[in-house]
Amino acid sequence: MKNTLKLNSYCVKTAERNESTKPHQLPLYLSSSFVMEDSQEAVDIFTGQKKGHVYGRYGNPTIDTVANKIAAMEGFDLAGDAYGFLTSSGMSAITTLMMSTLQAGDSVLTQGNLYGGSTELLKKILFRMGVNTIFTNLQNLEEVEHIIKNNSNIRMLYFETPANPTMACIDIKAINTIASKYAVPTAIDNTFCTPYLQRPLSLGTDYVIHSTTKYLNGHGNSIAGAIIASDYDASRKIWETLKLNGSTCNPFDAWLLSNGLKTLAIRMDKHSSNAQKIAEYLQQHDKVTHVNYNGLKDHPDHEIASKQMSQFGGMLSFSVQGGQAEALATIDRLKCCTHAPTLGDVDTLVLHPATSSHLNVDKQIREENGITDGMIRVSVGIEDIDDLINDFKQALDQLY
């Protein structure tokens, strides 16, 4: 090319690529568009007759590789394929799924103890789009069936298990059986468990959502979300919505996520073992009034969790005597743990739900679902367990 162009033109062009061998690690593709070999290839790709990348908002080799890996992990027990998409955040994953499956006049059936952001999305944004939300106790299967049977407008059953931050569990297989009886699609936020601990598609769930920002990445350095579908036709609707609403993940966050996935198994093992020991310690402390962790045998949902989770994960919450002031004081005294509004990182993170993640949820709804002013949420990290227990001990021992 340099022999046919002037130097200033040659500066603009990409040099011949020196790619003699295949890279061992996933490359980071930082290109907003992709070159067509000829006009016919462009026609074939845009009309769907051939697979190929054309524009970054539609997809990218880095993004699609990671999305397909997460889909394969969630569909590990399935005979067929699962289909995955990466979005700009966990919230955009939920929004994109709802936009691709619901329309004005439809209703969503869900639980009252959802993550606060999910509750706000349903009540504030989807409500303005004409989508109604019905909140109920999804653990009451008879009530769930009664509501679905008597409301043909319900076109989505959306749930978390374990719930954020109470760790309440829903019987995934049982609730999917009810929903499928009335042809109602189901979707689950599986962020807390990841496919390493729980795979809802194998239990009949139609869609799985992740905030990959959390455990799948695990290092607190990228924000992204994932949608996984078990049906090809449904996946096409998701892709169409995703490319048009523009909430696609970016290549760098996808690349960071790819690196995090490599250590998912060993991290989740350590998160789970540390959380079990901290829960047992907190349960016997005289300043702690209640501990929410499914690994405790006296937890009301221990049996459900044991049935559908391989381990109990790294999330727990507990309440201290005295309420909000004492909870905040405990957080401020922690030295090894970090006060941050996220979860799933390798280091231990604490949060006060009533003044942060669930601040905009009605207090009555919060308290009805066990999210009290004295509750502290803990995302247990992979530090040495003795350091973590000693940190909680010194902070709690200072309470009056």
Q: Which residues have a catalytic role annotated?
A: 57, 115, 189, 214
The answer to whether 318 and 290 are in contact (CB under 8 A) is yes
The answer to whether 257 and 212 are in contact (CB under 8 A) is yes
Q: Residue 160: which of 152, 169, 151 has the closest Cα?
A: 169
Return the structure tokens found at 294.
């499914």
CB atoms within 10 A of CB 134: 15
43 φ/ψ angles, rounded to the nearest 5 degrees: -60, -45
From its phi and psi, is residue 59 left (phi > 0), alpha (psi between -120 and 50) or beta?
Answer: left
CB atoms within 10 A of CB 314: 33
200: preceding bond cis by omega (within 30 degrees): no
- Please, what sign has the CA dihedral across residues 215, 302, 278, 265? negative
Q: How far, in Å, are 45, 130, 164 from residue 377 at the CA level? A: 48, 33, 9
The contacts of residue 381 (CB under 8 Å, 6+ apart) are 271, 274, 314, 345, 346, 347, 348, 349, 388
b/e per residue 344-375 (b: at least 16 CB within 10 A): bbbebbbbbbbeebbeebeeeebeebbbbbbb
Calpha distance 368→372 (Å, rounded):
9
For residue 69, count CB atoms less than 10 angstroms from its CB and return exposed for 0-12, middle for 13-18, buried for 19 or more.
middle
- Strands 225-229 and 288-292, sheet pairing: unpaired
For residue 65, count CB atoms less than 10 angstroms from its CB and return exposed for 0-12, middle for 13-18, buried for 19 or more.
middle
